[in-house]
Amino acid sequence: MNAIDNSKMQKDDIALGELMSILSGAKDSPLVFYYDGRPVKPGYHVTEVKAGQFQALDCGANPEAWSEIFIQLWDIEEGDRTHMPAGKFHAIIRKVTEHVKLDDSAKLTFEVSDGVQPMQLYCAAMPTLHAGAVHVELAPRPASCKPRDRWLAEQAQTAACCAPTSAKCCG
C-alpha cells in the first residue's frame, strides 16, 4: 500500500523554501516571531534546526509519510540585543544545510520555549513586512484526524465545483 504524502496537509503552513525566499529579500530587516499573542524577546536564539523523514499509520490505518523541519527558538532577553536580522536567520539556516539535508518543500514546525515553560509546537504563517520588520505569526500546531481532514477537503472541493442547481458534479 502506498503512503499518503501529508507534507501539504495544513493549508496555512509555509514551507522552508517559501520562508527563505521571503527573508532573502529583507535581509537587513529585524525578524520578529509572534506566538501566544506576543513577540519573541529581542535576544531570542535559534538553538537547533533538525530535519526528519516520518512514516506513520494514522487512525484510519492509512500509511502516512512526510518530511518536516523543526526550528527551535529560545525566547530569552539577552543584554541590549535587538531582534535578529532576517539575513542572520537566513545565514543560520543555510549554514545548517552544509551539514544536514533540508528539503525546501518540507513542512516547517517551530519549537518555542523561554527555557522555563515546556517547549510548544507552532506552524508559521506567511511573513509580512510591517514598520520595517519582518513579522512571522506562529500558531499552535493542533492535533488532527487526518482521515477526517482529507474527507472534509474532499467535501469542500466537491461543493466548490458543483453548482447548487446542477445535479451533475464535475467529479
Other Cβ atoms within 10 Å of 31 Cβ, number? 24
Other Cβ atoms within 10 Å of 51 Cβ, number? 16
d(CA 154, CA 135): 33
pLDDT digits (tens, 9 = 90+) for 146-169: 888 889 888 888 887 775 655 555
Return the SS3 of 164.
coil
Return the SS3 of 70.
strand
d(CA 46, CA 148): 35
pLDDT digits (tens, 9 = 90+) for 21-32: 999 999 999 999
pLDDT digits (tens, 9 = 90+) for 53-110: 999 999 999 999 999 999 999 999 988 899 999 999 999 999 999 999 999 999 899 9
CA-angle at 79, arms to 42 and 97, nearest 5°: 55
